[in-house]
């Protein structure tokens, strides 16, 4: 009975240190570094009980996390939106040696986080490539390459839709295939536009 109680206590402690806050789609717990959720505040805290609002609303609190200065400003907490995970935590959860015991006992959560970070990185790559397509489209339009400009603007829109659909209606492999083709189109356009600009200069 005592052993069982101790085991339950240890499990509860681990759960309190690191857990998934599904209501805000982010990690929480006393081991999780974070920024204060106040929009203009960059104070570094953790998402443990000491920083969680539990004194506002009928459900026991808004459940957001604030530094000491903003934790007491409960009258306007309902206007605040949760901030995403700290970049330091995104690295810690996959690589920090002290979290290895947690990783071994939470393989499902670990795999979900790996996939989440992979998708986030891929979305950033897609967004960067969409911006590149926009830039080359603007160059093409300036050089009266209207057909090429239209094609590039269409490609940029397609990339943005892919970023939004990643993990939903589009798989990672589908997006990678689109990226591969998009890169070839954009590089080819850049070379053609460079040649056209040199011709204009001459």
The rounded distance, in Å, linking the Cα atoms of 153 and 130 is 9
Domain count for the chain? 2
Whole-structure pTM value: 0.61
Q: Which helix (H) or strand (E) holds 7?
A: helix 2-17
Return the DSSP state at 171.
Answer: -
Mean pLDDT of the 68-92 span:
91
Q: Residue 99's pLDDT is what? A: 92
Mean pLDDT of the 193-198 span:
85
Boundary (domain end) residue, out of 69, 85, 101: 85
Does residue 173 form part of some domain? yes
Please tell me whether residues 73 and 120 are part of one structural domain: no
Please tell me whether residues 71 and 10 are part of one structural domain: yes
Please tell me whether residues 119 and 81 are part of one structural domain: no
Does residue 93 form part of some domain? no
Complete DSSP assignment for 28-43: EEEEEEEE-SSTT---
- pLDDT tens across 18-51, in order? 998 888 889 999 999 999 999 999 999 999 999 9
Does residue 134 form part of some domain? yes
Does residue 150 form part of some domain? yes
- pLDDT tens across 2-21, in order? 333 333 333 344 456 899 88
Mean pLDDT of the residues in the chain: 84
| Residue of 190 and 2 predicted with greater confidence | 190
Does residue 56 form part of some domain? yes
Domain extent for 131: 115-201
Q: Residue 59's pLDDT is what? A: 55
Q: Residue 192's pLDDT is what? A: 87
Residue 167 has pLDDT above 80, yes or no: no
Please tell me whether residues 121 and 76 are part of one structural domain: no
Please tell me whether residues 122 and 180 are part of one structural domain: yes
Q: Residue 92's pLDDT is what? A: 92
Please tell me whether residues 45 and 120 are part of one structural domain: no
Please tell me whether residues 9 and 52 are part of one structural domain: yes
Q: Which helix (H) or strand (E) holds 44?
A: strand 44-47
Does residue 95 form part of some domain? no
Please tell me whether residues 79 and 36 are part of one structural domain: yes
- pLDDT tens across 106-155, in order? 999 899 888 888 888 888 899 999 999 999 999 888 887 778 888 899 99
Does residue 151 form part of some domain? yes
| Residues linked to residue 47 through DSSP beta bridges, in sequence order | 29
Does residue 188 form part of some domain? yes
Residue 100 has pLDDT above 60, yes or no: yes
């Amino acid at each position: 009975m005592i052993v069982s109680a101790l085991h339950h206590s240890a499990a509860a402690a681990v759960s309190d240190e690191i857990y998934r806050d599904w209501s805000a789609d982010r990690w929480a717990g006393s081991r999780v570094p974070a920024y204060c959720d106040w929009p203009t505040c960059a104070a570094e805290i953790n998402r443990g009980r000491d920083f969680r609002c539990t004194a506002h609303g009928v459900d026991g609190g808004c459940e957001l996390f604030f530094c000491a200065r903003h934790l007491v400003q409960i009258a306007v907490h309902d206007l605040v939106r949760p901030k995403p995970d700290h970049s330091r935590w995104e690295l810690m959860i996959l690589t920090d040696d002290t979290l290895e015991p947690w990783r071994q006992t939470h393989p499902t959560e670990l795999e979900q986080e790996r996939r989440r970070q992979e998708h986030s990185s891929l979305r950033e790559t897609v967004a960067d490539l969409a911006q590149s397509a926009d830039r080359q489209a603007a160059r093409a339009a300036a050089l009266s390459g209207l057909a090429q400009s239209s094609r590039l603007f269409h490609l940029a829109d397609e990339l943005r839709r892919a970023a939004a659909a990643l993990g939903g209606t589009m798989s990672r492999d589908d997006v990678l295939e689109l990226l591969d083709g998009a890169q070839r189109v954009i590089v080819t356009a850049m070379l053609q536009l460079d040649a056209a600009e040199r011709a204009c200069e001459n």
